[in-house]
Chain A
Amino acid sequence: MLGRLMQSEAVWLFSRSPAAILAAIAAVTIVLGALFAPWIAPTDPYDLSSFSLIDGLLPPVWEDGGDPRFLLGTDDQGRDMFSSILYGARLSLAIAAMAMAIALVLGVGLGLAAGYYGGRFDAVVMRIADVQLALPAILTALLIDGISRGILPRDMHDDLRLGVITVAIALSLWVNFARTARASVFVERNKDYVQAAIMMGQHPLRIMARHILPNILGPLLVIATVDLASAILLEATLSFLGVGLPADSPSLGTLIRIGMQYLLSGEWWILWIPTLFLVVLVVAINLLGDFLRDLFNPSLR
């Protein structure tokens, strides 16, 4: 009953917020494009035989000299930019979503336990969180990336890149989840339903997962949305700095880094189209996050 009421209210608020509708359309379009990239993209950017140097540096179709085969033009190797961007967005979103999921599980788990048990465990987790919060996420991610390069054998670097970046981003984002979960648990723990469950002798894990967790999902969902945007930005920044994904499997950030070489020449599409994609994606997700925050926090309305 409550769920249905919440849903109808959410739908009603959503229909009255043009920013949220636009953001949702943009985000869903890009996500679908990324998800179905192998079916939508005209060529496979990873397949070296699918493009040729003869088609290099062609502008998008609406410019003079554009080729109808290449909707958004080609890069210097003759790769179709539209396909590259779809596959790039696919990689960016996959890494960001994975990193966010790991951060969510880790952060919520630690936060729940810290809030539930309190005491020394809580103190240790929160001190670590404090220290990490003082360091900007980009610095944490860079450090983890650098350390992993030192630990892992050199010839495995490229194969493990994807995993390393995902873990680096996840470890720089878990703190928000942990703090929110912990704060919510402090409120919920003293409520009657939790006390009743404790007195019935239920296992703490069961109380945390079955009773408390469903009641603190709202704020966690908001953080998940905002952190998804942060994760996309972090991955793009790492790749842009040249410590992220390599050029043969480019994410949006790698595409922008490659495009930087054309900043001074006339081939604007190689740089600006991936940049536009990235910015639209992040702005859209952030706007959706703002909408969710307002939805779950009626006092702001």
Chain B
Amino acid sequence: MVAFILKRLVQSVFVMLAVAFLAFSLFKFVGDPISQMTGVETSIEDQERLREELGLNDPFFVQFARFTGDMLQGDFGYSFRTREPIGEMLLSRLPATLELGTVALVISLIVGIPAGVYTALRPRGLVSQSILIATLIGVSIPTFVIGILLIFLFGVQLGWLPTYGRGGTVEIGWWRSSLFTVEGWRSHVLPALTLGLFQLTLTMRLVRAQMMEVMRTDHIRFAIARGVPWRSIRYRHALSNTMIPVITVIGLQFGGVIAFSIVTESVFQWPGMGLLFLESIRFVDIPVMSVYLVVIAFFFVIINLLVDLLYLAIDPRLRVRESV
């Protein structure tokens, strides 16, 4: 088991190195930092001196090593646009995106899993059929249209909920949280629904498909024949066996949630990392783009690692096979 974890860790490090290389190439080959930093009146000699001082004439791999080393020490460089350190920019935006993503994911799970189980157990019922049709339409409507619809309905027509920003924030150390104020929670509802709806339909369909498959397997039939109570069959025997693929997809989804939050944050003017990334694209702020890429990849790798470890915890067969 230890060997398995170590192997996965080494793999993760290589993936991160590959992404860092990509980000560095972006940095290196797209746009010239010197021309971004200096004006028209800077002489060629001064430009060359600056280039030498900043180490831009060093061999490619020396620069790459320095880039990676700086990143590991938390030095992400400076934005072309705002001249602020990127690490601080991202860090100040990180809580907003993570909180929104988590709330969206929680919504998609606490609605999606029960709905999936229900539609699997009563596939021909009227409620199940309506839920399935609703999700089919839900998948086809683009995220930003769902956001606009929700804003229009609950923000403009009914006036129940705020339609932009995070509401009040509370600072806990450097973490600016909006989960501790009523206004903050109210601000979360619409964007989290927008962001979570797609994941919700995905979770529901997956749980439904898995559950229907598991209910047909021999060990469930055997349990039925043995006269185990239905409750126990459904929720102890069947549901726990549907959870492995569900966990994988949910884990991978969280990365998707963070990426899709770009669209949601834009609709709701949510001050998170996605909005920052979008601004950096509009202003061709290459350093911010490449750091965003590395940070997102880091999330993906960490989540994948956690999913693998969760497998070990959930599926006893894996533990046995590894230790043999």
Residues of B contacting A279 in the complex (Cβ-Cβ under 8 angstroms): 140-142, 145
Q: Say yes or no: is B5 at the interface (Cβ < 8 Å to chain A).
A: no
Q: Across chains A and B, which 10 residue pairs bring their CB atoms closest together, nearest first?
A: A150-B30, A146-B281, A283-B140, A139-B259, A136-B259, A150-B31, A149-B284, A286-B140, A240-B144, A233-B142
A263–B156 CB distance below 8 A: yes
Inter-subunit contact A229/B262 (CB<8 Å): no
Please, which residues of chain A bring their CB within 8 A of the CB of B260? 136, 138
Say yes or no: B289 contacts A263, CB within 8 Å.
no
Bound-state Cα–Cα, A67 to B156, Å:
27
Partner of A135, one of B144, B259, B282, B289: B259
Q: Which residues of B contact A149 (CB under 8 A)?
A: 281, 284
Q: How far is the CA of A282 from the CA of B143 in the complex (A)?
A: 13
Partner of A282, one of B140, B281, B286: B140
Q: Total interface residues on A, using CB and 8 Å? A: 32
Q: How far is the CA of A63 from the CA of B136 in the complex (A)?
A: 32
CA distance A278 to B136 in the complex (A): 16
Q: Which of A235-283 contact B (CB under 8 A)?
A: 236-237, 240-243, 256, 260, 263-264, 271, 275, 278-279, 282-283
CB contacts (< 8 Å) of A138 on chain B: these are: 259-260, 262-263
**In the complex, what residues of B have CB within 8 A of residue A236's CB?**
142, 144
Name B residues whose Cβ lies closer than 8 Å to a Cβ of A.
26, 30-31, 136-137, 139-145, 148, 151-152, 156, 252, 255-256, 259-260, 262-263, 266, 277-278, 280-282, 284, 286, 289, 293, 296, 300
26 sample A-B contacts, Cβ–Cβ < 8 Å, listed by A number: A134-B255, A136-B255, A138-B259, A138-B263, A139-B259, A142-B277, A142-B278, A142-B281, A146-B280, A146-B284, A147-B30, A233-B142, A240-B142, A240-B263, A240-B266, A242-B278, A243-B278, A275-B148, A278-B145, A279-B142, A279-B145, A282-B140, A282-B141, A283-B137, A286-B136, A286-B140
**Could you tell me the distance between the alpha carbons of A271 and B151 in the complex, rounded to whole angstroms?**
13
From 277 to 301 in chain A, residues with beta carbon under 8 angstroms from any chain B beta carbon are 278-279, 282-283, 286
Say whether, besides A146-B281, A237-B263, A151 and B140 are in contact (CB < 8 Å): no
A227 within 8 A of B: no
Output the nearest chain B residue to A154 by Cβ-Cβ distance. B284
The minimal Cβ–Cβ distance linking A27 to chain B, given in whole angstroms, is 13
Interchain nearest-CB distance for A180 vs B (Å): 20
Majority SS of interface residues in chain A?
A: helix
Q: Which residue on chain B has the smallest CB distance to residue A290?
A: B136
User: Which residue, A240, A256, A264, has most C-beta atoms of chain B within 10 A?
Assistant: A240
Q: How far is the CA of A105 from the CA of B116 in the complex (A)?
A: 37
Q: Which residues of A contact B137 (CB under 8 A)?
A: 283
Give the number of A-B contacts (CB < 8 Å): 88
Contact with B along A114-156 (1 / 0, CB 8 A): 0000000000000000000011101100110111011100000
Inter-subunit contact B262/A139 (CB<8 Å): yes
Inter-chain contacts of B139 with A (CB < 8 A) = 286
The residue in chain B whose Cβ has the minimal distance to the Cβ of A271 is B148
Contact A143–B289 (Cβ < 8 Å)? yes
Cα–Cα distance between A240 and B286 once the two chains are bound (Å): 22
- Contacting pair A237 B281 (CB below 8 A): no
Bound form: Cα–Cα A264–B21 in Å: 46
Q: How far is the CA of A168 from the CA of B305 in the complex (A)?
A: 30
| B293-A143 in contact (CB<8A) | yes
When distances are taken between beta carbons in the complex, the residues of chain A under 8 Å from B31 are: 150-151
- B145 touching A229, Cβ below 8 Å: no
Q: Are A243 and B282 in contact (CB under 8 A)?
A: yes
User: Could you tell me if A243 and B281 are in contact, using CB atoms closer than 8 angstroms?
Assistant: yes
Expressed in whole angstroms, the minimum distance between the Cβ of A222 and any Cβ of chain B is 16
Q: How far is the CA of A138 from the CA of B266 in the complex (A)?
A: 13
CB distance from A1 to the nearest CB of B (A): 36
A179 to B152, CA, bound (A): 40
Please state if B26 and A147 are interface contacts (CB–CB under 8 Å). yes
Q: Which residues of A86-118 are within 8 A (CB) of B?
A: none
Kindly identify which residue among B252, B263, B282 contacts A134, using a CB–CB cutoff of 8 Å. B252
Q: Find A264's partner among B156, B256, B284 (CB 8 Å cutoff).
A: B156
Docked CA distance A283–B26 (Å): 37
* Residue from the list A150, A241, A260, A263 in contact with B262, Cβ < 8 A: A241
